[in-house]
A and B are shown apart, each in its own frame.
Chain A
């Protein structure tokens, strides 16, 4: 392939832009996390660096860089360095298949606002997310520290458990689209036919699993401060620690973008036809890109909102919820969806599925659960 072709340059520019947006949002997520935490606790939060503390991420970055980059004597040095790198790498790679917009024509070149449109898009996301646990596991193992190792093992088992339910939730989506390509999934949802309306149960399962995959509260057992000091990053300092924390925020943003892609119509927004007719295709597509980022940021807010609301799960509760709760639930969801498609009424099937589930659980409750004495 000609390395200097317009197509290649446009792709490179787009990837650079996505990269910059992701990193910028991740940096400012740290600021907004602290601000949101403060507001929810009736405080003000960081307000010293610049107006409203807007320069706080810069100050944090300077602090991270200035700290001593310590490597424990008995650690496995190369793996210790590889851990955060791998975390960061996998966090950034996921965004490659997220379709940020439809095709635009700029300067005579038409290209997709998507890193790579592969026909296995959603599998790519899964593969990279599964790789992401290596960053944590390697870091925890290489630290040669019991707490780190415990945290890493927790991360590994947690991610494996919740990937199953996540995958089953996505199978229901794939039944709709019949394609693994993220682009096809988004195109199937245009004009307000968002999957959330057809898959309310699937979305809740996916959301819970996304929390677990990002190691966010209430599933942040790998870095559980009270039990494991810092979990897998106990031994890390300086920018290596920064990479781990940064990767977490990137993961949050990307999983928000993936959820928007899968369930909230991706770059679809109400009034897209009007904007296209009024201002042309390019503007409409860029507004769509903004809509997708907005949806992703909304999810980032939900992540933070939940973090400052809920306490952490106990480890056995976490495993119980994953294996005994979510996996059967997502299997049920797959069956209901398949049935809905078979009878040709997926929307009704989604609603009826949830109602039947709650009814069934209520009946089970009445029959078998011992009542509390009030």
Chain B
């Protein structure tokens, strides 16, 4: 007695003529391959072509500036505390008079470094930041590196350039 009666009893007879001649099945298979022969390849030639990874992809870090071009980061260190991989380190400094155009608040990060070998791109720094200063941009990946010297990204690579501002879909 079976648990359910859904099991089909299969009895395998000999193959039918069409099956034994192989040829109909072969022609059918060849039609399938010919169809694929003329269909569009799905390949993306990676280094030259890149696919859009979505609006929330977590790529390379960026330190945002505000509308006036002043850095938003105040070197509070919350990102470094939140970072599970301990990839972020920074040195804080006090803003001098006359630097109001460069830094938004009285305190700023003189050195801000992300170790890309340690970073796991979890995005917790982005969540922790109270000043909306650090983001993982969705359109740029951290490129492959060949030497360990290239691994630690300083402010020269992280701070946003005013002529190529980073915008997300939701911000517009």
If A309-B26, A310-B26, A310-B29 touch, does A41 touch B13 (CB 8 Å cutoff)?
Answer: no
**Whole-angstrom distance between the alpha carbons of A43 and B43 in the complex?**
6
B14 touches A369 (CB 8 A): yes
B17 at the interface (CB under 8 A from A): yes
**A21 interface residue, CB < 8 Å from B?**
no
Are A365's CB and B36's CB within 8 A?
no
A234 to chain B, nearest CB (A): 29
Query: Taking the nearest CB of chain B, how far is it from the CB of A351, in angstroms?
Result: 17
Interface check A40, CB cutoff 8 A: yes
Give B140 Cβ to nearest chain A Cβ, in Å.
25
- Provide the bound-state CA to CA distance between A38 and B112, in Å: 47
**Cβ-defined contact, A309 with B41, below 8 A:** no
Tell me whether B16 and A369 are in contact (CB under 8 A). Answer: yes
Evaluate contact between B37 and A36: CB separation under 8 angstroms.
yes
The minimal Cβ–Cβ distance linking A113 to chain B, given in whole angstroms, is 33
Residue A305 interfacial (CB < 8 Å): yes
- Interface membership of B162, Cβ < 8 A: no
Q: Which of A40, A47, A369 contacts B37 (CB 8 A)?
A: A40
Q: Which of A35-78 contact B (CB under 8 A)?
A: 36, 38-44, 47
Contact of B43 with A365 in the complex, beta carbons under 8 Å: no
Which B residues touch A305, using CB under 8 A? 30, 33-34, 37
What residue in chain B is nearest A302 (Cβ atoms)?
B30
Pair count A-B, CB < 8 A: 60
How many chain B residues sit at the interface, stated as a range, is 20 to 34
A14 within 8 Å of B by Cβ? no
Closest to B44 in A: A44
Q: A40-B36, A310-B26 are in contact. Are A369 and B13 (CB under 8 A)?
A: yes
Closest-by-CB residue of A relative to B38 is A39
Tell me, yes or no, whether B147 is within 8 Å of chain A by CB: no
Report the minimum CB–CB distance from A15 to chain B (whole Å). 35
The answer on a CB contact under 8 Å between A365 and B16 is yes
List, in ascending order, chain A residues with CB within 8 A of B29's CB: 309-310
Interface residue count on the A side (C-beta < 8 Å): 23
Question: Which residues B6-47 have CB closer than 8 A to chain A?
Answer: 9-17, 21, 23, 26, 29-30, 32-34, 36-43, 45
Interchain CA distance A372-B10 in the complex, whole Å: 9
Are B30 and A42 in touch, CB under 8 angstroms? no
B30 touches A371 (CB 8 A): no
Q: Which residues of A contact B42 (CB under 8 A)?
A: 42-43
Partner of A42, one of B15, B16, B39, B45: B39
Complex partner residue of A40 from B13, B23, B33, B45, CB under 8 angstroms: B33
Chain A residues contacting B45 (CB-CB under 8 Å) are 44, 47
Residue interface bits A24-40, CB-to-B below 8 A is 1, else 0: 00000000000010111
Residues on B with C-beta less than 8 A from A310 are: 26, 29
Residues of A within 8 A of B (CB): 36, 38-44, 47, 204, 305-306, 308-310, 361-362, 365, 369-373
Chain B interface (Cβ within 8 Å of chain A)? Answer: 9-17, 21, 23, 26, 29-30, 32-34, 36-43, 45
User: Could you show 11 A-B contacts with beta carbons less than 8 Å apart?
Assistant: A41-B36, A43-B43, A44-B45, A305-B30, A306-B26, A309-B26, A310-B29, A369-B15, A369-B17, A372-B16, A373-B9
